[in-house]
Amino acid sequence: MKPRILIIDDEPLLRWSAGKKCEEWGYEPVTAADCHEARERMQAENPELVLLDVRLPDGNGVDLLREMRGGGFNGPIVLITADPKLDDIKTALRLGAYDYLAKPINFDELHVTIANALESGRMREELGALREQVKQSSGYHEAIGPSEAMQKLLAFVRRIAASEASVVLLQGESGTGKDLIAKVLHYHSSRADRPFIAINCSAIPESLLEAELFGHERGAFTDAKTMKKGLLETAHGGTLFLDEIGEMPLPLQAKILRVLEGQSFRRLGGVKDMVVDVRLITASNRNLEDAVRTGQFRQDLFYRLMVIPIFIPPLRSRRDDLLPLSLFFISHYNQRFRKKIRGLTPEAEQWILHYDWPGNVRELKNAIQRAMILEDGEWLRSQYLPVGGTDHSAPPAPSPASLPEAQWTPARSLHNDRLIPHFEIPAVGTSLEGVEQHLVEQAMAQCHGNQSQAARLLDISRDAMRYKIKKFNLEKSEEIEK
């Protein structure tokens, strides 16, 4: 299809002549004489490029440009003006105009400008597609889970990403996905088209870490034969992610604090301050407050980083994410290993749901990867899941919140003239708190959410029942009663 060009100008002769030239050059011209007609044409014709006069009978071209950008038009806009005022041009360029041409129009210049603008637009679309591929391949979407805790966390993270916050601290156990949350913060921000640079402070020797971060001038030290940019300079306009910042040496912590305070630094061996615009995301699985008390982390840097702290909950506290994440990893490794595994067997699901995953998402991902390599059937079996670092022939003890109904057997026993249920403890053991939670859930279900009746069934007060509902996060039962 021919690229469609919308020509907006109140001069009929210019519209006609520009339209004829566009036809000669292989484009499809569409014309409008004022702002009102231009709005109609924009909606009906969906042009690839707009030629826009600054002075129109019913408005200003710069205001119309602002309106087009606000309405979602991302194609190139070339201004046409008989009176090229500097303020109008500066405003238009700031709003995203591609270029401007002065009247009377030089059609050779117009031809080149249109061709370059359309090519620039195509390159921008291709770049956008490539950026989207980078987002997907970066794996940051792996952090998404259906649990309420994770959804609340992601909503907060996206809110921070869209803000102007320049410092964010991620805290959580090892393997919870702090690096993935860092990518969410980057790719959901206005910095998404700029670099995302990550470095693990514990993985680089102290003698090299400073040079990696700040770069160096030629001759700064023995092997510095050329000038080298550091990661701070490379990340200009984007995001620098410092993982395991709690392992950073104290002298280097002081230099990072200077960067945060002044957005400037010096290369090693340099004498000139380098100004950078960087969002700094830091992460630690250590308790930095304890590190401050023991003198292993600077107090002033700690308070500077704590402006926006984000805590990522461990996987064991968001069990609703276990199976969705497992299926996501199965899909991922199906593509990587060219397999067609359909999902998990019921036994494998129980393995995953009953294990506490001290290594969090990283451990789950590695477990699924290993099982996928060994599995040759259609369904992933529990025998290939290396829970806890070993294979198992018997299931782990059930967690407090997931006691199977099948383990409960009816029996009659009298206690204070009241009939109570009898529970046979399974061979693998169980949790007393889990038994209590199961009884509370059964009582609430049997009484259709009526707390008073459920309390009488368990021979406890209504206040005690309220406490246990809150303790086991069963507030939904209270909503049913109300």
- Asked whether residue 407 carries a pLDDT value surpassing 50, the answer given is no
Taking residues 125-142, what's their average pLDDT? 62
- Asked whether residue 410 carries a pLDDT value surpassing 50, the answer given is no
Strands 379-380 and 343-344: parallel
| Angle 299-302-307 from CA coordinates, rounded to 5° | 135
Look up residue 298 and give its two tokens: 């600077």
CA distance 445 to 457: 12
Assess if residue 395 is contained within a domain. Answer: no
- Give residue 129's pLDDT band: very low, low, confident or very high (50, 70, 90): low
Q: What is the CATH number of the domain that holds 348?
A: 1.10.8.60
Mean pLDDT, the chain, rounded, equals 83
In this predicted structure, what is the pLDDT of residue 141?
A: 58
In this predicted structure, what is the pLDDT of residue 199?
A: 93
Assess if residue 397 is contained within a domain. Answer: no
In this predicted structure, what is the pLDDT of residue 394?
A: 39
User: In 244-381, at which residue ranges do the beta strands (DSSP E only) sit?
Assistant: 264-265, 274-275, 279-284, 309-311, 343-344, 379-380
How distant is the alpha carbon of residue 279 from its chain centre?
15
In this predicted structure, what is the pLDDT of residue 406?
A: 36
Q: What is the CATH number of the domain that holds 412?
A: 1.10.10
Q: Exposure string (b/e) for 352-386, b if CB count within 10 Å is 16 or more?
A: bbbbbbebbbbbbbebbeebbeebeeeebbbebbe
- Give residue 185's pLDDT band: very low, low, confident or very high (50, 70, 90): very high
Contact 185, 161 (CB under 8 A): yes
Q: What is the CA radius of gyration of the chain?
A: 32
Q: Where are the alpha helices (DSSP H) in 320-426?
A: 322-337, 346-354, 360-374
Is the domain of 117 the same as that of 156? no
Residue 83, SS3 per DSSP:
coil
Assess if residue 250 is contained within a domain. Answer: yes
Strands 49-53 and 4-8: parallel
CA distance 226 to 233: 16
Assess if residue 339 is contained within a domain. Answer: yes
- Give residue 206's pLDDT band: very low, low, confident or very high (50, 70, 90): confident
Q: What is the CATH number of the domain that holds 64?
A: 3.40.50.2300
Terminal CA-CA length for the chain: 62
pLDDT tens, position by position, 217-227:
887 777 777 88
In this predicted structure, what is the pLDDT of residue 481?
A: 44
Is the domain of 96 the same as that of 8? yes
The DSSP H or E segment spanning 228 is strand 228-229
Domains in the chain: how many in total? 4
In this predicted structure, what is the pLDDT of residue 325?
A: 92
The DSSP H or E segment spanning 200 is strand 196-200
Is the domain of 24 the same as that of 144? no
Contact 337, 371 (CB under 8 A): no
pTM for the whole thing? 0.58
Is the domain of 331 the same as that of 204? no
Assess if residue 191 is contained within a domain. Answer: yes
Assess if residue 158 is contained within a domain. Answer: yes
Among 84, 112, 130, identify where a domain stops: 130
Taking residues 357-376, what's their average pLDDT? 92
Look up residue 294 and give its two tokens: 């023991």
Is the domain of 340 the same as that of 437? no
CA distance 244 to 39: 53
Is the domain of 161 the same as that of 305? yes
Is the domain of 177 the same as that of 103? no
Look up residue 65 and give its two tokens: 């440009």
Phi, psi of 74, deg, nearest 5: -110, 0
pLDDT tens, position by position, 281-326:
999 988 899 999 999 999 999 999 999 999 999 999 999 999 999 9
Inter-CA distances, 156 with 27, 138, 289, Å: 46, 21, 23
- Asked whether residue 339 carries a pLDDT value surpassing 50, the answer given is yes
**Burial zone of 222 (CB within 10 Å; 0-12 exposed, 13-18 middle, 19+ buried):** exposed
- Give residue 139's pLDDT band: very low, low, confident or very high (50, 70, 90): low
Assess if residue 51 is contained within a domain. Answer: yes
Is the domain of 284 the same as that of 154? yes
Q: Which residues touch 474 (CB under 8 Å, ≥6 apart)? A: 440, 441, 444, 468
Q: What is the CATH number of the domain that holds 261?
A: 3.40.50.300
- Give residue 448's pLDDT band: very low, low, confident or very high (50, 70, 90): confident
Strands 55-56 and 49-53: unpaired
Among 312, 347, 371, identify where a domain stops: 312
Is the domain of 182 the same as that of 278? yes
- The residue segments making up the domain with residue 12 are 4-130
Inter-CA distances, 101 with 51, 98, 111, Å: 9, 11, 11
Assess if residue 281 is contained within a domain. Answer: yes
Among 295, 312, 329, identify where a domain stops: 312
Is the domain of 177 the same as that of 297? yes
Taking residues 198-215, what's their average pLDDT? 89
Is the domain of 426 the same as that of 360? no
In this predicted structure, what is the pLDDT of residue 424?
A: 56
- Give residue 418's pLDDT band: very low, low, confident or very high (50, 70, 90): very low
Is the domain of 68 the same as that of 105? yes
